[in-house]
Structure 1
Amino acid sequence: MLTQLAIRDYAIVDTLDLELAGGMTAITGETGAGKSILLGALGLCLGERADAGSVRHGAERADLSARFDIAALPAARAWLAERELPADDCLLRRVVTAGGRSKAWINGQPATVADLKMLGERLIEIHGQHAHQALLQEETHLRLLDDFAGHRSAVAELTDTFRRWQATRKRLKQLTENGDEVQARRQLLRYQVEELDLLALGEDELATLEHEQEQLAHAEETLREAQHAAECCDSDDGGVLALLSQALQRLDPLPGSDRGALAEVIGMLGEARIQVEEAVRELHRFADATELDPERLTWVESRLGEVHRIARKHHVMPDELPALHRRLHQELEGLEGGDHDLEALRSEVESLRDRWREQARGVGETRREAASRFGKAVQEQLAFLAMGKARFEVEVATRQSPQPEGMEGVRFLISANPGQPPRPLSKVASGGELSRISLAIQVVAARHSTIPSLVFDEVDVGISGATAEIVGQLLRRLGENGQVMTVTHLPQVAAQAHHHLHIEKQARRDTTLTRMALLDEAGRVSELARMLGGVHLSDRTLAHAREMLDASQQGAAH
């Protein structure tokens, strides 16, 4: 369940830290005080869309976090464990900047908004102000019935089988209808693969050929220059070696004292002669090893020309030809086995179709059985909400064509008055009746939910009097088995709550802020009196509020 909600610089809230408990919590306040802010902040933590308008005016960012106790939520713990996130606790955090950007975290680890939404569906259910409109759509009817039936996993498997069936059918159709195109493609691939087979270009061959071509093309020039360099070093008419020898010969007859002073110079000249002699030997070895091979050069250049020609033909770079060869070969292998693939696909289509039919049959039987129980459960709630003469039915009809979720279409039908045939909810004229019908359906759906935390956002609109007190009793009973938070404008509902959270708007100089506080018993009496009688509270109104609160709590105790 939701245990903490922290809000920083969101809407007109600067700082708010709420500690929340199990049971039923009523959330009240004057119109415009900001009751929707609490649910808006929670919604952002659960992955709803964010924009720059979420940030309090003058602030750089809004920072929101919601902490959940997930000890009783195995689905949430499993979701976290699958992603290698800590699963002992659950902290969702969302930051929205004034520029409209947003970031999200789950248990301190960066997450996507989609992650928040997926995990949020396993943590809490929100029944919003637009539940009435959603209940007018038959897609909602099917989802609620499936939730009530408790076969979500079976419906998910059914949907997965349907999608695989349709995808395989589409592939088979494409291969069957495009037979001529496939044959033409096969012929082209055969020609291209044979051409590349003949070329047989190795992975590193291109680089080797280019290096060899460069060496062969410049071999004659390189040989000539190497020989000339050797002659410069070792020739009888002024070569480097001859000159070094002459220099040493001139220094050799000098007196001993002078030779001692020039010993270092004489050593350097001697080393230079040795180095030059070694260089001359290397130049001769290089010249002897260098061969002029015009025929090899012609072959290498021809080979490179063929490689570049085929590369241009396929619109790829020359070094990409080996990879292209592999791709075309694999595609050809796939098409060569086309007849076998067609038979395999036909068999797979039939297998998936039969599997879907079997799964759909089981889901359909469960739906029809659950429809009767769901109708009776809603009927009981309607009687409790002073609509005992109404008749509620769940119609399960067989569709003409298969659908991902099965062959059934589901509609909720209602007859508000005796003697009238049941009609779709969208035909119900009275807003008050629709509100009570909607609440009855949501209460039944919530009782069969695997998620113990429920939020009701003004679902009691259009209800008043004794019926409002009954609505409060319904919500309190739901809260006794988990956690229920309800935004309400009815004192009869708020009086039934285990806890009461009050929201008010305060003006400070040039800014307006929202404050939220958990009320004690005296505060609850004052707030109920305000809801009963307006701003100016009389002793009579306060006494009425005290009596209402005492009666609600004592009645709940019994």
Structure 2
Amino acid sequence: MLLKLNISNFAVFEKESIDFENGFNVFTGETGSGKSILIEALSLILGERASKDFIRKGKKSSLLEAIFDISQNKNLENFLDLINIEIDDNDFLIISREIMDNGKSINKINGRTVPLNTIKEIGSYLIDIYGQFDNESLFKKENHIKMLDSLIDRDLSPLNDKYKYLYKSYNKKCEEIKYIQEKLINKDIKIEQLQYELNEIDDANIQQFEEEKLLNEIKKLSNVQEIKTSLYEVYNILSSDSNSSVNSLNKVYSILNKVKNFDDGLHDLFPRLELLIEELQSLIYDIRNYSEGLDVDDERLLTIENRISLINRLKRKYGFNLEKILEYRNSVEKELNIIKDAEKNLNELNIEKEQLFKSIKTCADKISNKRKDAAIILEKNLLKELHDLNMKNIKFKVNIIKKPDFSPDGIDSVEFLISTNIGSDLNSVQKVVSGGEASRIMLAFKKISCETDNSQTMVFDEIDAGISGKTAQMAGIKMNYISKNHQVICVTHSPQIASIAKKHFLIEKGISENNTFSTVKRIYNKDKIYEIARLLSGMKVTEKSLSNAKELIEISDNM
């Protein structure tokens, strides 16, 4: 149940705090006072996309906050527990949305920042908003099956969950069969081609990092003569008798040896010097040996060039590097095995598909039977409710036709058919029903469905469009009935509906310091009588309209 709505700097509202109660709450006010803005605020609390255009002029942000009592909403409590959102000791749920001037919003639940989708999921458990333009849902055939199912949701939900699982499994199995069947097309040609590709790659016996090693080797073999010349030059520099590096180090050794006995600190230099002489001699030896071992190997060079040519050819055919070639090789092997085993797998898949078909058909038939039972009850109850709403000469039928194949919502095609005049044939709702009639049909439906509706709060936004007088009064009675088990919030222009509500709020527009703003206040007694009189007579309230308003309220109080 919605306990409180706080609004700051939101469109025409500067700072308002509205305390709601259980039962029937109604909002009235002149056109343009902000009634639709109030519904917009509730929609945003439920997770609708926000626009910076709602921010009050001259302000950087708008803040909306709603406080709910969810102590009786076990389904929501279970969902909140599932997504790890804690509820305080009073079972209060606080949703807040701050809309920033950059178009973004900060969304919080009990102080914890959450994604907008989370608020939207939670909102579906809290409030059901039915607006004056939601009649369109009645005019779309695809919504009729959803409306019918909502009446038996508790009973249907386990079956629907099972059906969705089976439907997904069945479709997946059909896709697997189609995939295998496609593999079997030109099976022998495919096997021959794949086997050839697999053999070609395997015969090449490609090794990891082989290409890099081959390129390094061919670079060396292509430059052997230059390498030998350079090594010979280095060898001469290091070992020349006239300027030998070893001889130079030996001379250094002799000079230091003469004076080592004069200074003990010189003794530490000799091991290092000896190591240098030994390492240099070893280096000269290795350079000479390495140089002598280098030969121009034209045969090896040709072998490497042929190997690189083979690798490049495979790269052009199967991948731009060795890793991709090997990946392609593995995919070919996998594909080959699939095709070879295709017929055996196809037989197994067809058996599994047949088993799934039987299961999904059984489940779909059960769902269909429940829908047919619900349709009979809906037809009977809707006619009764519509009769109360001054639609007395109508016929209504829920037309259920079996589809040729399974669909996401079963095997049923559901359409509401109606006749509004004596002697007229049943026809599609969208072809027959007017806007005012659609409002009454939807209100009747809400009345019937309120026993199974998960939302604890129901909002009706100007559902009285196109109706007045006794019909409007009956609409108010229907909403009042709904309010016995649900909190009802209604925005209306109808004096008949407003007179029935036990909690009446008035939205008024004012001007202060060249700024327009709207306020919301709870009205009682004389103020309520005056507002009902205004709704009855328009702008000019007379003694007669006041008397009529008082009488209308008294009649409503005695219902």
Smaller-chain TM-score bracket? 0.7 to 0.9
**Offset at residue 79 of structure 1 (A):** 3.8
What TM-score results when the alignment is normalised by the length of structure 2? 0.83
1:341 aligns with 2:330: no
Structural mapping, 1:265-304, within 5 Å: 271-272=272-273, 274-282=275-283, 284-285=285-286, 288=289, 292=294, 294=297, 299-300=303-304, 302-304=306-308
For 1:382-413, what per-residue CA distance to the aligned partner results, in whole angstroms no more than 9, with x for missing partners? 233344x4444333332352351334333334
SS of alignment partner, residue 450 of structure 2: helix
Q: Which amino acid aligns with 2:37?
A: I
Could you tell me which residue of structure 2 aligns to residue 41 of structure 1? Answer: 41
Could you tell me which residue of structure 2 aligns to residue 494 of structure 1? Answer: 498
Could you tell me which residue of structure 2 aligns to residue 196 of structure 1? Answer: 201
Q: Which amino acid aligns with 1:21?
A: E
Alpha-carbon distance in 1 for matches of 2:319, 2:434: 71
Could you tell me which residue of structure 2 aligns to residue 532 of structure 1? Answer: 536
**Offset at residue 113 of structure 1 (A):** 4.6
Unaligned residue ranges in structure 1 (runs of 5+): none
Structural mapping, 1:127-526, within 5 Å: 127-150=130-153, 151-155=156-160, 157-158=162-163, 161-162=166-167, 164-166=169-171, 168-169=173-174, 172-173=177-178, 175-176=180-181, 179-180=184-185, 183-207=188-212, 209-210=214-215, 229=234, 232-247=237-252, 249=254, 271-272=272-273, 274-282=275-283, 284-285=285-286, 288=289, 292=294, 294=297, 299-300=303-304, 302-387=306-391, 389-399=392-402, 401-404=404-407, 405-416=409-420, 422-428=426-432, 432-519=436-523, 523-526=527-530
For 1:31-53, what per-residue CA distance to the aligned partner results, in whole angstroms no more than 9, with x for missing partners? 11121112212223334344454
Tell me if the contact between 1:92 and 1:107 (Cα under 8 Å) persists in the aligned partners.
Answer: yes
Could you tell me which residue of structure 2 aligns to residue 126 of structure 1? Answer: 129
SS of alignment partner, residue 393 of structure 1: strand
Q: Which amino acid aligns with 1:238?
A: N
Change in Cα spacing, 1:25 to 1:337, as seen in structure 2 (3 Å) is same
Change in Cα spacing, 1:308 to 1:398, as seen in structure 2 (3 Å) is same
Structural mapping, 1:540-551, within 5 Å: 541-542=545-546, 544-546=548-550, 548-549=552-553, 551=555
CA-based RMSD: 3.9
**Offset at residue 232 of structure 1 (A):** 3.8
Q: Which amino acid aligns with 2:39?
A: L
Change in Cα spacing, 1:287 to 1:173, as seen in structure 2 (3 Å) is same
- % same residue: 27
Change in Cα spacing, 1:189 to 1:430, as seen in structure 2 (3 Å) is closer
Alpha-carbon distance in 1 for matches of 2:485, 2:528: 23
**Offset at residue 496 of structure 1 (A):** 2.5
Change in Cα spacing, 1:65 to 1:346, as seen in structure 2 (3 Å) is farther
Tell me if the contact between 1:454 and 1:483 (Cα under 8 Å) persists in the aligned partners.
Answer: yes
SS of alignment partner, residue 371 of structure 1: helix
For 1:79-129, what per-residue CA distance to the aligned partner results, in whole angstroms no more than 9, with x for missing partners? 444444446765545555545456655566665554444443333222121
For 1:480-499, what per-residue CA distance to the aligned partner results, in whole angstroms no more than 9, with x for missing partners? 21221111111222232232
Q: Which amino acid aligns with 2:132?
A: Q
Could you tell me which residue of structure 2 aligns to residue 11 of structure 1? Answer: 11
Tell me if the contact between 1:428 and 1:434 (Cα under 8 Å) persists in the aligned partners.
Answer: no
Change in Cα spacing, 1:191 to 1:276, as seen in structure 2 (3 Å) is same
What TM-score results when the alignment is normalised by the length of structure 1? 0.83
Alpha-carbon distance in 1 for matches of 2:194, 2:11: 63
Q: Which amino acid aligns with 1:327?
A: S
Aligned residues between the structures: 550
Tell me if the contact between 1:233 and 1:280 (Cα under 8 Å) persists in the aligned partners.
Answer: no
SS of alignment partner, residue 334 of structure 1: helix
Tell me if the contact between 1:393 and 1:414 (Cα under 8 Å) persists in the aligned partners.
Answer: yes
Q: Which amino acid aligns with 2:412?
A: E
Alpha-carbon distance in 1 for matches of 2:436, 2:168: 41
Change in Cα spacing, 1:340 to 1:109, as seen in structure 2 (3 Å) is farther
Alpha-carbon distance in 2 for matches of 1:368, 1:518: 46
Tell me if the contact between 1:175 and 1:182 (Cα under 8 Å) persists in the aligned partners.
Answer: no
**Offset at residue 358 of structure 1 (A):** 1.4
Moved more, 450-459 or 130-139: 130-139
SS of alignment partner, residue 32 of structure 2: coil
Alpha-carbon distance in 1 for matches of 2:216, 2:80: 57
Could you tell me which residue of structure 2 aligns to residue 76 of structure 1? Answer: 76
Moved more, 159-168 or 139-148: 159-168
